[in-house]
Every structure is written in C-alpha cells, then in structure tokens.
Structure 1
C-alpha cells in the first residue's frame, strides 16, 4: 500500500509525552498496537511535516479563486 492509496483500515492515534521525556505516537488498530517514541526535536520535525502535508492537501481541495475582469 502506498501513501496515496485509500484504505478501509480504521485506527486510533494518541499523542503524548512519556515519563522518559520522549513524545509517543501510539497507534492502535485491529490486532495492532504500535508505540512510536521520538525525542522532542524529532517530534517537532514530524509536526512540521504534518503541517506542510495539511497545507498541500488543503491547496489541492480548495476551489481556485476567480479573478473577475474589471
């Protein structure tokens, strides 16, 4: 499965700090529990990538703004 393929898989995502000073992404789906720990700098990089991907996705779905002639 590629990043641009649709999927019927449902999952829960939880994000929070650990007691060891890491940032945990905890993904849970049917039969899968996946804790992913990142140091704070890595977590900030992931956050930046998420924001960039959200902006790109938004740009793809927004209607182009019309430019009426005067």
Structure 2
C-alpha cells in the first residue's frame, strides 16, 4: 500500500477541537470503522503545513500534465 494507490473506500473526515485542548481528526469509514486521531495544537499546525505543501505540490504536478 502506498500514497499513490487508489482505493474504493468511502470515508468522512471531521476536524475540530476537543474539550481537552487537542485537535481531533476523526475518520469514519464504511463498515463502522472509526479512527479518532488527537494532536496537540503544535502538531496540528505542523500537519496543516504538510497539507498545504502537498496541495502546492499537487498543483505543480497538474500544471505539468497540461
């Protein structure tokens, strides 16, 4: 399995603060699978930066294909 392998699995992603001061990514997938992932605010900001960098990389790749 890798990041470039496509899957036919539907999932929902929720992101928000918890009542304990953490940031939770909550993934709910087919078959009743629930994955809560808690991060402290600093870790969440690092993840947000990684997502922004990945989005920028994806844009650059899609421009090359045109």
User: What's the TM-score, normalizing by structure 1?
Assistant: 0.86
State the Cα RMSD in Å.
1.2
Mapped to 1, the partners of 2:11 and 2:59 lie a distance apart of: 22
Pairs aligned (count): 64
Structure 2: give runs of 5+ residues left out of the alignment: none
Specify the structure having the higher radius of gyration (Cα). 1
- The 4+ residue runs of structure 1 with deviation greater than 3 A are none
Gaps of 5+ in 1: 65-70
Higher helix share: 2
The aligned runs of 1:1-70 (5 Å cut-off) are 1-30=1-30, 31-63=32-64
TM-score, structure 2 length as denominator?
0.91
